[in-house]
Chains A and B, each alone.
Chain A
Amino acid sequence: MKLVFEKSRPGRRAGRIPRPDGLSSPSVPEDLRRERPARLPEIPEIELVRHFTKLTTRNFGIDTGFYPLGSCTMKYNPRVNERVAALPGFRDLHPHQDEDGAQGALELMHELQEILAEVTGLDAVSLQPAAGSQGELTGLMLMRAYFADRGELEQRRTIVVADTAHGTNPASVTMAGYELQKVATDPRGNIDLDDLRSKVDERTAGLMLTNPSTLGLFDEHIEQVSKIFHDVGALLYYDGANLNAVCGISRPGDMGFDIVHINLHKTFSQPHGGGGPGGGPIAVRERLEPYLPVPAVVRDGNRFRLDYDRPKSIGKVRAFTGPFGVFVRSYAFILAWGRELRGMSEDAVLNANYLLAKLKEAYDLPFDRLCMHEFVLSARNLKKAHGISALDVAKRLMDFDFHPPTVYFPLIVPEALMIEPTETETKETLDAFADAMLEIAREAGEDPEVVKGAPHDRPVGRLDEVKAAKRAIVRYRFEDHPDLSAEPATSAQVEAPKGA
């Protein structure tokens, strides 16, 4: 399909700007004036609409079909949430509006803070972080500020991270100026307590943990884990990527965590938009509240205001008070559930266990336990017997019109297939997906070439990722644009994490 730039013709245009009469032309000093215009496409509106409509037909979302991408919680995004986010009182509200002209927005945020505090079992919430990974980084900054205040910043240098963790955890550790200490997983899929004890001491600042883990398993020793850290004066950070499993069932605060981030684009149904936006609010225990980002949204009687007077605050991690449009959608989603929110997690866990039960005979199950909201299978049996990899299984699922699960993650499971159905799928959908997975396992033995050649009916076949990285063509180059089809293929695909 052509790029929008390849459809451009000089002199065409879509939008026009009102140009008031009688205004003098502005003069820009010559050395600051744009010399050559940006080569934006020149295209009439109908062609613009057709171009992007055509692109949407080459894309797959939850609205298109089942999307069991593990650790991404691809649940239905209710349309009413889009309607309310587009109300002019929200959409057209300037963030520098006076507080008295933004009382509704501030009340919504304050109420969302209180809801998230209740769900996480913690005391104070900042909605500011833009996404989960920024929530992580913010949490680590809070640890720095907390220990600096106690004169322990130099002493406490390490953050402990499980070997099953999302890559964001170690990356955040480095960006926050800490040293990474990895801890192993035991044969039941819990943190290895002996390994943990050997790595936690008075040099430890804290732990970052996802619970249930990226294996979809609840850590059975979470109380001991929490005690090990608190005994040495360290803090516990909860990566809320998997919060969809435990809402109303078990709260991170009750598990012993001191700081939690919540992925509004996972558990609370903000649409993921092909990569974003998200929202990564953080909830903390009372003793960490003074360090939260400014401004805080606070209530004085019936009035809401922004409080900048927080001398111990770490500062700001993004502009204003956070991604407000995301808050509107997630708030609306939570209102639908209300105090029955537990039912959401119950059905998410039920759906996952049902799929697991149907699939565990055909695929390897590295940890044979009941799962939470997701589970991890391994295609190593198919790889060994028939040369069919997790990637092959993923690609073949596309022929059945399913989005593949997360693959090659978590890293400790070879040929990992990480499956998260969410609570919004019907039993029929789960059955159809299970049938497809079982059919592919059968094909692996009987007709492996059809699996290796998948997908068969997508706009493109398997793409040459090595060529992409080597040539690094990351923008259109107009008349100098190379023709990559004329260059030899490497036919190589990287077996690296896709998803999570």
Chain B
Amino acid sequence: MTYTTLTDGDREAMLETIGVSSIEELFRDIPAGVRLDRPLELGDPLTEQEILERLEELAARNVHAGEELSFVGAGVYDHYVPAVVDYILQRGEFLTAYTPYQPEMSQGVLQAIFEYQTVICELTGMDVSNASGYDGTTVAADACYIAKHATGRSKIVLAETVNPQVRQVVRTYAPGFGMEVVDVPHREGVTDPEEFRAATEGAACAIFQQPNFFGCLEPAPELAAAANDAEALAVAHVDPMSLGVLEAPGNYGCAIAIGEGQGAGNPLSFGGPHYGFIAAREEFTRRMPGRIVGETTDVEGRRGYVLTLQTREQHIRREKATSNITTNQTLLALGGLIYLCWLGPEGLREVGETCMALAEHAKEQLDLPLLFPEQTTFKEFGVRVGRQAQEAIRQARTQGVNPGYPLGRDYPGMDDAILVAVTERRTPDDIERLVEALAG
């Protein structure tokens, strides 16, 4: 009963004001047949101290990234999150606010979202970003919905090198959209532009990932050109942490850029909550899903920010809305904004270069065949460990090293392959330990 505020005296006085004799009477409109006639079968109420003890006990049964040396990535990455991010996000004025429907009360979060939108547009080379999507998977489905309405077509082309979870989510959404999915297989770890071109004929959109799920750099400008030639929307799924080093999708002809924001400013948190981002060229502004903040002025001409272009949205357009999304990931997106401001343009380039240099160093040090030796990679790469990957991982973990993600889970013929992620939090010494652990 920790969080109640009423005393018995309050309750009595309030019932009298209402004109009923008991709390029970307040529920008289609920038919007897659907009332619960027993207490809920839940545990004893706990005090704060007991809650903490219970949760500490559960947390202690997890092995977190501070307890073993981790090279696990595959879509979620152990990048450093600075203290300022945690500090700002814990301020109650941001943490405990709802969606900023009343702008005079919410200029803080509205301006912050406007700044977030600007940062995402700058990173991706786009004109418009929304206030965030759920994660890096659902924004891919959002892009397909935009493409369906923008082109009147129903085919989704999906490179096999896109994160398998993104592909699964697109497949789950597609039937409801009345769309179908065509896969383009990889060739030695990357997508072949000619195969991509053939598949995009008559497509609504064509989605590829840069760097792709294997960590390899795709011939992204050629893939975008193939989609553009077919008048399909070119959609790039990008890692924000790569965009100080790698070209922005808007600068090589993409219509839409999407991605998982987690690596930029969010903790691992067992897969969520994180933020997905979606940004597009100006012509798609009125087809975007979800909240968008715009600049305006008040009655005295002062600059201010409001939720805008709301006639796209479900609360006004209802069944004709561009999406059903309401609650998004604003707080996590603000974490991204603060982090990227903390890094600045130099920092973003440096973190990308450092990850890439460390990953190259790891490739050199590991005495193991690379999965795709011909390809340039960013911060992740596949290696063949010469036995079942699951077994190699289990063994390495006994030495306190988690070497990566077993690719056989998603790709046939890769049962002996591990996807190794190297962020700026790893050191050359850590890499030495990885080498030893994988040597067996």
- Judge: A and B partners, yes or no: yes
Interface residues of B in 302-316 (CB under 8 A from A): 302-306, 308-311, 313-316
14 further interface pairs, Cβ-Cβ under 8 Å (given A26-B353, A35-B247, A250-B30)? A34-B246, A40-B341, A57-B93, A80-B52, A93-B268, A102-B63, A118-B42, A133-B326, A319-B136, A335-B43, A339-B45, A356-B18, A403-B105, A485-B301
In whole angstroms, what is the CA distance A404 to B100 when docked? Answer: 11
Asked if A274 is at the interface (CB within 8 A of a chain B CB), the reply is: yes
5 nearest A-B residue pairs (beta carbon):
A63-B92, A273-B331, A89-B59, A320-B271, A59-B108
Q: Which one of B88, B324, B428 lies within 8 Å of A23 (CB-CB)?
A: B428
Residues of B within 8 A of A20 (CB): 354, 357-358, 427-428
Within the complex, the shortest CB–CB distance from B185 to chain A, in Å, comes to 20
B306 lies within 8 A of A325 (CB): no
In whole angstroms, what is the CA distance A71 to B173 when docked? Answer: 27
Chain A residue at smallest Cβ distance from B136: A319
Residues of A within 8 A of B267 (CB): 91-92, 325
Given contacts A92-B65, A95-B270, contact A276 B43 (CB under 8 A): no
Residues of A within 8 A of B89 (CB): 273
In whole angstroms, what is the CA distance A356 to B17 when docked? Answer: 10
Interface residues of A in 144-158 (CB under 8 A from B): 144
B111 lies within 8 A of A248 (CB): no
B135 lies within 8 A of A170 (CB): no
Q: Which one of B3, B58, B82, B309 lies within 8 Å of A423 (CB-CB)?
A: B3
Query: Which of B196-204, B343-351, B380-388, B432-440 lies at the interface?
Result: B343-351
Within the complex, the shortest CB–CB distance from B44 to chain A, in Å, comes to 5
Interface flags, B410-435, vs A, CB<8A=1, else 0:
00000000000000100110000000
Residues of A within 8 A of B76 (CB): 94-96, 319-320
A315 lies within 8 A of B171 (CB): yes
Residues of A within 8 A of B98 (CB): 67, 69, 72, 74, 272, 274-275, 499
Can you name 19 A-B residue pairings with CB atoms under 8 Å?
A: A1-B107, A1-B111, A17-B350, A23-B361, A48-B84, A78-B2, A107-B61, A141-B172, A249-B35, A272-B97, A274-B330, A275-B109, A320-B271, A333-B3, A349-B27, A398-B104, A458-B105, A461-B302, A496-B315
Given contacts A94-B72, A175-B145, A471-B294, contact A14 B342 (CB under 8 A): yes
Within the complex, the shortest CB–CB distance from A75 to chain B, in Å, comes to 8
A275 lies within 8 A of B51 (CB): no
B138 lies within 8 A of A130 (CB): yes
Within the complex, the shortest CB–CB distance from A81 to chain B, in Å, comes to 8
In whole angstroms, what is the CA distance A394 to B104 when docked? Answer: 11
Asked if A29 is at the interface (CB within 8 A of a chain B CB), the reply is: yes
Interface residues of A in 124-142 (CB under 8 A from B): 130-134, 136-137, 140-141
Q: Which one of A82, A107, A332, A500 lies within 8 Å of B90 (CB-CB)?
A: A82
B268 lies within 8 A of A370 (CB): no
Asked if A176 is at the interface (CB within 8 A of a chain B CB), the reply is: yes
In whole angstroms, what is the CA distance A293 to B340 when docked? Answer: 34
A31 lies within 8 A of B118 (CB): no
Query: A interface, by DSSP: helix, strand, loop or mixed?
Result: loop
Chain B residue at smallest Cβ distance from A62: B96
Chain B residue at smallest Cβ distance from A252: B34
Chain B residue at smallest Cβ distance from A401: B105
A346 lies within 8 A of B23 (CB): yes
Within the complex, the shortest CB–CB distance from B216 to chain A, in Å, comes to 11
Residues of A within 8 A of B291 (CB): 275
A465 lies within 8 A of B18 (CB): no
Q: Which one of A88, A222, A398, A494 lies within 8 Å of B64 (CB-CB)?
A: A88
In whole angstroms, what is the CA distance A500 to B341 when docked? Answer: 32
Q: Which one of B72, B114, B175, B318 lies within 8 Å of A170 (CB-CB)?
A: B318
Asked if B106 is at the interface (CB within 8 A of a chain A CB), the reply is: yes
In whole angstroms, what is the CA distance A314 to B141 when docked? Answer: 15
A104 lies within 8 A of B172 (CB): no
Asked if B374 is at the interface (CB within 8 A of a chain A CB), the reply is: no
Query: Which of A196-204, A380-388, A424-432, A436-444 lies at the interface?
Result: A424-432
Within the complex, the shortest CB–CB distance from B190 to chain A, in Å, comes to 12
Asked if A16 is at the interface (CB within 8 A of a chain B CB), the reply is: yes
A427 lies within 8 A of B171 (CB): no
Within the complex, the shortest CB–CB distance from B296 to chain A, in Å, comes to 4
B93 lies within 8 A of A3 (CB): no
A426 lies within 8 A of B51 (CB): no
Q: Which one of B271, B305, B349 lies within 8 Å of A319 (CB-CB)?
A: B271
Given contacts A77-B96, A358-B17, A424-B3, contact A49 B176 (CB under 8 A): no
Given contacts A34-B243, A95-B271, A347-B4, contact A337 B424 (CB under 8 A): no
In whole angstroms, what is the CA distance A33 to B210 when docked? Answer: 12
Asked if A234 is at the interface (CB within 8 A of a chain B CB), the reply is: no
Q: Which of B6, B20, B271, B424 has the most CB of A within 10 A?
A: B271
Asked if A299 is at the interface (CB within 8 A of a chain B CB), the reply is: no
Q: Which one of A49, A174, A425, A472 lies within 8 Å of B308 (CB-CB)?
A: A472
Q: Which one of A33, A173, A223, A460 lies within 8 Å of B246 (CB-CB)?
A: A33
Q: Which of B44, B58, B100, B136 has the most CB of A within 10 A?
A: B58
B55 lies within 8 A of A338 (CB): no
A28 lies within 8 A of B245 (CB): yes
B357 lies within 8 A of A335 (CB): no
Asked if A251 is at the interface (CB within 8 A of a chain B CB), the reply is: yes
Residues of B within 8 A of A119 (CB): 40
Asked if A19 is at the interface (CB within 8 A of a chain B CB), the reply is: yes
Chain B residue at smallest Cβ distance from A136: B324
Given contacts A69-B101, A97-B402, A325-B273, contact A272 B18 (CB under 8 A): no
Interface residues of A in 172-193 (CB under 8 A from B): 172-177, 180
Given contacts A15-B347, A338-B45, A342-B40, contact A61 B99 (CB under 8 A): no
A455 lies within 8 A of B35 (CB): no
Residues of B within 8 A of A347 (CB): 4-6, 11
Asked if B397 is at the interface (CB within 8 A of a chain A CB), the reply is: yes
Residues of A within 8 A of B107 (CB): 1, 55, 58-59, 458-460
Asked if B209 is at the interface (CB within 8 A of a chain A CB), the reply is: no
Asked if A232 is at the interface (CB within 8 A of a chain B CB), the reply is: no
Asked if B285 is at the interface (CB within 8 A of a chain A CB), the reply is: yes
Chain B residue at smallest Cβ distance from A91: B267
Q: Which one of A52, A265, A461 lies within 8 Å of B104 (CB-CB)?
A: A461
Asked if B278 is at the interface (CB within 8 A of a chain A CB), the reply is: no
Q: Which one of A90, A263, A475 lies within 8 Å of B59 (CB-CB)?
A: A90
